[in-house]
Structure 1
Amino acid sequence: MTPRDASDDNSSRWSDLDRPPLDAAALRRGLVREGGLWSEVEVVRRTGSTNIDLVARAREGKAAEGAVLVAEEQTAGRGRLDRQWTAPARSGLFFSVLLRPAEVPVERWGWLPLLTGVAVATGLARVAGVDTALKWPNDLLVTVGDEERKAGGILAERAGDDAVVVGVGINVTLRADELPVPQAGSLALAGAGNTDRDPLLRAVLRSLEEWYDRWRAAGGDPLASGLQEAYAAGCATLGRTVRAELPGDRSLTGEAVAIDGDGRLVLATENGVQQPVGAGDIVHLRPA
């Protein structure tokens, strides 16, 4: 699907006063600066997937590091395991960024989705005043009432040998009757003090730039950059009994006890073995 520029939506630009469109020019003025990470900010009215679009541009050599693509609506948004991510137009933040971490060994690039999770949680805490927890490896959790719910997710994809596209989806103003599944949540339902998407997006991107610069300066070392400690501090999975649903229809149950140097989740099983999990679906079975 070809992206449509947000300026094409003049007829319905203010049709929902509770969900005004993003101002791409204002975002560029606030985020694109000489010597900074962000090189371009584009806002489109609708597209299938910002990740698919930006990966294609990167492979064709049409996007520089720091390109940001934001969609007011995604019709084919994806999460891990190709799960669908749908939400009403302008009800959330749906964007992808292009990163080329040449200073970092490729074997450490697996930290990028975890780094993004830390950055998103930090940015949302600053502006929305919502405590956002991280479910390994890439879910963003908020508390609605006394229930933990998923309000966002992160998807990282390679875009050639030298680039990674990281996509982020965050439910901002979704109401209870708009949730795709009962287990979903949004910043508004979690009692956010601010649901204006403009300052939220700026805060998240500035936080992402801070963490990315720190990580690159440390050569991708998760300890030296402080990333491993920060992720563990905000990870709701640690300290809980979980079930890891692994490739090949296998599963492993144990207590999540650590995030190792490769970003893997370490489970302590009932037979006393500590088993790192690098890929899989994690189900929280018991509160920490």
Structure 2
Amino acid sequence: MTTPPLLTDRTALSRNRTRSGRDPVTFLHDALIDEVKERLELVNKSFTKVAIVTGMPGPWQAAFPDARIIADDDILALDPGTHDLVIHALALHWANDPVGQLVQCRHALEPDGLMIAALFGGQTLHELRAALAEAESRATGGLSPRIAPMGEIRDLGGLLQRAGFALPVADALPYDVTYASALHLMRDLRGMGETNALAGRLRSPTRRAVMFGAVETYARHFGTDDGRVPATFEVVVLTGWAPDPSQQKPLRPGSAAQRLADALGATETPLSDSKD
């Protein structure tokens, strides 16, 4: 069997995160923490054995002081069946095996335990991707991997079912941010530890023509009337439960006790009577 190529250079990712600790940028983690807490308030259950998988431990440890913080290594330091809540916080998009990460989270849960995973979705940094691609193509005649590929919500939701979660739900949270320039955005990405850690990246410094060409292209294509540039961060939230017999089960097809037309107060028209 052929081993698939690795997406992420974990050594480079660790180095990027260490550098980000000098001047960390945590506003997305802070916003996600508020979102997770709001969602937990809507769940009719108390969680006392929490594990949080993240590459940015500071804000999560402060928000959940009793939680166990776990590094997002390929093999998670989670013991089977020991937690009633596992949060995978803005790290899954760097996983070489995202389904494997989710399976490990499910195995770490007690029956009827909850998993919440948040990762960047496909619309994230689409402006920067376009600007870099145009500038690099113009300067070098080719393209190199610069921003990690990020899945679309319907594909990411399917990961929950593949990992064996019950009652899977996926939804997206758009965060729209503006910057004085693309360089200011790139500086924030360094502070987030989200700069290029792709295994297939170029190992030489980015040419000045590419960098400054991307800044000019970004402003030209996406700049606002006030001279700033927008940046899109799409956070996809995946929610699933460890299977348990007490959970609701979907009804069998044909077992409904009431017709949908009656419930909606609508008139049902047989297909054979319909007209073009």
TM-score (norm 1): 0.28
**Greater strand content:** 1
Q: Which has the higher contact order (CA 8 A, sep 6+)?
A: 2
Larger Rg: 2
TM-score (norm 2): 0.28
**Greater helix content:** 2
